[in-house]
Amino acid sequence: MDAPVGLVRALLPRALAWGVLVAATLAAMVAPVVGQGGGSWRTAAPLPSSRTEVTGAELEGKIYVIGGFGGGDLVEAYDPTANRWERRAALPHGVHHASAVAVGGHLYVIGGYSGSGWGAVDSVNEYSPSTDRWRARAPLPTPRGALAAVVIDGRIYAVGGVGKDGGHAHRNQRALLFLHRSRRSARGFAGLMGWRRAGHGPGSGHSKPF
């Protein structure tokens, strides 16, 4: 019995030291978050339509909510300043689980599933707020739904998703290149991700997609 007790007494100071170190590390990580404080929520004008699995993006100070179940081709824009929604030109065809980004004064809706079904599409549509019109752009190299998209240095990266056959699209596609400047469609392959994924959220930093 003496040996275990002695071992515990010998290890106890080290355990306490590690505990203090871990606690201090966690406190240092949490402190900046807690210190931010300030923010608050308020109720804004509700979305005019009841929809799920939509996509959306901000363009010129307005939030666009696009497609989804309950309105596949529906496009509604919210003005935070006026706290008001307005209907915009419908998509050329209904989609859900698509991805949307804004770049160069235009909105792009990429991929998704068609209508109320689960057939992945390769469509890319560009919206101009000045004319309230859509036009088709160069399609994705592969049909994909539940994908993510992000803009980096004027290029739109369409990442991951589920292919037409139901398999995960193990790809990171660079789909469009400076469309607002060249007015030409272009696409290319940017490489493979380390993991297959769908229904994920995009991000960017240091000119790289995450």
**Residue with more model confidence, 20 or 86:** 86
Of 82, 80, 164, the residue nearest 121 (C-alpha):
164
What's the CATH superfamily of 55-195? Answer: Kelch-type beta propeller (2.120.10.80)
Decide if 131 contacts 178 (C-beta within 8 A).
no
pLDDT value of residue 142:
84
Residue 131 to residues 55, 73, 89, 109, 127, Cα–Cα distance (Å): 21, 18, 9, 17, 9
Q: What are phi and psi of 68, to 5 degrees?
A: 100, 170
Helix (H) or strand (E) holding 79: strand 75-79
Q: Where are the domains of the chain?
A: 55-195
Of 76, 72, 159, the residue nearest 115 (C-alpha):
72
Identify the band that residue 115 occupies on the pLDDT scale cut at 50, 70 and 90.
confident
**Residue with more model confidence, 159 or 114:** 114
